[in-house]
Amino acid sequence: MPIRPTAIMDGLTKLRVVRNPNYKRSGLKSYVSLMNKYGFDSTKEGPYYHINRVAQRGLASHGYHKKGGRVRGEHVLVKRIDTTQTGEVGADDQQGDTEYLVQVSIGTPAQTLMLDFDTGSADLWVFSTSLSSSLRKDHNVFDHTKSSTYKALSGENWNISYGDGSTASGTCGSDVLNIGGLNVSGQTVELATKLSSQFAQGTGDGLLGLAFSRINTVTKHGQPSPVPTPVENMISQGVIPADASLFTSAFYSERDEEDSFYTFGYVDQDLVDASGTDIVYTDIDSSEGFWMFDSASYVINNTTSQQSGNKAIADTGTTLALVSDEVCDALYKQIPGATYDSTQQGYVFPTSVTADDLPDFSVSVGDTQFTIQKEALAFALADDSHWYGGVQSRGTNPFDILGDVFLRNIYAIWDLGNTRFGAVPKIQATQILTPPGNDALAASNDRKTSISLARL
């Protein structure tokens, strides 16, 4: 496998990840977004939960009320207003923005967009000129009419829908895609023609899925017809070396000084050497389309506990780390003053807690333990005096979901060619738990800062 230094070699180089200046951490909103994305319910008390209700697929509509059509069941995410009433879950209830964005270009001449790279999905969708002007505001938008290499794909459509009723959908075409100087030809690009506000409120201009194509949502003449992801096309087109059919990721938080990055087609040996260990690989079960692996044990303060048969997925599109109730309960029992807050639907602990007060905690990837560093346990301020924990319950979800709270502790190797996931530890020497100042707490959500492409 090619192991290359940080300098450009054979046309391969690091692809810088930009930290989104508009992203504001919110523990509860992040948790609700995950309930929505994966469809699970919390096993503990809280304001958000799913209900089953009957809906009618309308043939015609009047206002918001559909008339006629087939009756079907829906699993809908709602919020509890009081003991007798529930309300709809809207954009303001969820974390609609992403912390990390990556510059890519599509078409000829190239049109530049900032996308969310997501290993928990497999669609490449972008804002298009078919959207209303209000939805396009503050976004870079792909205009297929200005690309000489764009080809419409007749009969092909896509649709993403979540439990709160939010949807993103549109038509498909093929074009040239450039990621970090690597050109992928004939890449299916999903053009958004309809977006719910939950999808439109973020800073990014769309999403680039890095999961396995079996969960891609493209249909052809109404029938499922999944298309290859950009990385799968890189492999089949020989854009990256045959013996390095992989990509890697290294994420850093706003507390760190380093730049986050991806590589495609090589492993950054400098970062591997800095870890002082060899890359440890574990086999992936891609049958559900995710980067899923065995995670059958965890360690808290040098005490190892087993979870026979437990599975986890690594998801760059997720912020928190979600684990079983057993692990959550054991972890927070070791944090002074920690408690489950039903209003926050999650575990919180006092901001007065120091790094020395926090337990050593790790979860297994295959047979190897990887530490979730102490500063990652303090995800966001829940209120003036409490942290919202970075590790929370997965509820009724059948597998753990290891997002950024876990991934920024490792250098990750996503090896499609060998269907395996690799990692080395990447722990910061100093753990910073200082809460942000009052100015950060009171930051206004009214004004969105555009990301200047010229600064990349």
Residues annotated as catalytic are: 118, 315
Report the candidate in 78, 72, 38 with the shortest Cα–Cα distance to residue 55. Answer: 72
Cα–Cα distance measured from residue 151 to residue 135, given in angstroms and rounded to the nearest whole number: 24
Asked whether the beta carbons of 300 and 103 are under 8 A apart, the reply is no
- Both ends of the chain: CA-CA distance in Å? 30
Asked whether the beta carbons of 153 and 188 are under 8 A apart, the reply is yes
Report the candidate in 320, 338, 341 with the shortest Cα–Cα distance to residue 330. Answer: 338
Query: Residue 241: is the preceding peptide bond cis (ω within 30°)?
Result: no
Q: What CA–CA distances, in Å, run from 209 to 143, 213, 260, 291, 315?
A: 21, 9, 18, 12, 10
Q: Is 94 left (phi over 0), alpha (psi -120 to 50) or beta?
A: beta
Other residues' Cβ atoms within 10 Å of the Cβ of residue 72? 9
Cα–Cα distance measured from residue 112 to residue 107, given in angstroms and rounded to the nearest whole number: 9
Asked whether the beta carbons of 156 and 123 are under 8 A apart, the reply is no
Report residue 268 as tokens: 């950054």
Rounded to a whole number of angstroms, the CA Rg of the chain reads 22
DSSP 3-state assignment of 23?
coil
Q: What is the DSSP letter of 267?
A: E
Q: Is 69 left (phi over 0), alpha (psi -120 to 50) or beta?
A: left
Distance of CA 72 to the CA centre of its chain: 30
Dihedral (C-alpha) 52, 119, 379, 431: value to the nearest 10 degrees?
160
Determine phi and psi for 332, rounding to 5 degrees.
-75, -15
- Bridge-based pairing of strands 71-80 and 86-88 is antiparallel
Alpha helices in 149-204 (DSSP H): 197-200
Cα–Cα distance measured from residue 90 to residue 92, given in angstroms and rounded to the nearest whole number: 5
Report residue 304 as tokens: 């190892």
